[in-house]
């Protein structure tokens, strides 16, 4: 098991090192990824946690947790309501919360003037089958891989730590 974990680390490091030089269509061959435990087979672009509470209660907890980490709420998109209005379909409870930490957003803008195309940090709250609620937040380090700016990736690490704490605090 330790061997697989260290191999996963080596493969991720190699992928990070060569990814700026590879075409977007490049992927690690399945014969290599099949050697890894399932959780290491793909890089995730989000953190998530399931909760056994009501949907509106989850929205409140997420909002408070974001505030504790210095985030404000810029947008709150009710996907269920929007889909009903626009295309008359029923959808589960699903809200997209656009969160912004002004200090860190300013820092990112100083490093990369078009980083706003990837902001704010989205956090989703959705109702799953069985009444469970899932909260998921974007991993800013994963999304910043698209921008070749090492200093921005460092700043994204700060945001990542804050968003990870938000998700972990929702136990």
Q: What is the pLDDT of residues 75-88, one digit of tens each?
A: 999 999 999 999 99
What pLDDT shows up at residue 137? 97
The pLDDT tens digits for 147-157 are: 999 999 999 99
Same domain, yes or no, for 13 and 48? no
Whether residues 36 and 110 share a domain: the answer is no
CATH number at residue 85: 3.30.310.70
DSSP 8-class letter at 96: E
| DSSP-derived secondary structure for 11-26 | HHHHHHHHGGGS-TT-
Q: Tell me: pLDDT of 23 over 50.
A: no
Between CA 98 and CA 96 the distance in angstroms is 6
Domain enclosing residue 63, as ranges:
44-168
pLDDT of residue 44: 86
Q: Same structural domain for residues 7 and 90?
A: no
Query: 0.85 cut: is pTM over it?
Result: no
d(CA 76, CA 66): 13
Q: Is the separation of the CB atoms in 49 and 170 below 8 Å?
A: yes
Q: What is the pLDDT of residues 99-127, one digit of tens each?
A: 999 999 999 999 999 999 999 999 999 99
**What per-residue confidence (pLDDT) applies to 8?**
53
Q: From edge to edge, which strands make up the β-sheet containing 72-78?
A: 46-51, 133-138, 121-127, 94-100, 72-78
Residues 84 and 118 in one domain: yes
Gap between the Cα atoms of 62 and 52, Å rounded: 14
Residues 124 and 84 in one domain: yes
**Helix H or strand E encompassing 72:** strand 72-78
Q: Tens digits of per-residue pLDDT, 38-63?
A: 444 455 899 999 999 999 999 999 99
Which pLDDT score is estimated for 43? 57
Query: If you average pLDDT over residues 121-144, what whole number do you get?
Result: 95
One domain for residues 86 and 131 = yes
């Amino acid at each position: 098991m330790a061997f697989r974990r260290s191999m996963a680390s080596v493969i991720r490091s190699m992928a990070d090192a060569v990814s700026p030089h590879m075409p977007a269509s490049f992927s690690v061959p399945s014969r290599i990824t099949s050697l890894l435990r399932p959780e290491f087979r793909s890089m995730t672009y989000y953190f998530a946690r399931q909760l056994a509470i009501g949907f509106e209660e989850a929205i409140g907890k997420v909002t408070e947790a974001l505030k504790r980490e210095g985030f404000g709420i810029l947008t709150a998109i009710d996907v269920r309501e929007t889909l009903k209005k626009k295309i008359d379909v029923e959808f589960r409870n699903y809200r997209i919360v656009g969160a912004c930490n002004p200090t860190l957003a300013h820092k990112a803008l100083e490093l990369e003037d078009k980083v706003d195309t990837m902001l704010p940090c989205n956090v989703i709250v959705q109702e799953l089958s069985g009444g469970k609620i899932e909260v998921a937040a974007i991993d800013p380090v994963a999304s910043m891989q698209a921008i070749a700016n090492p200093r921005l990736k460092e700043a994204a690490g700060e945001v990542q730590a804050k968003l990870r704490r938000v998700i972990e605090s929702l136990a």
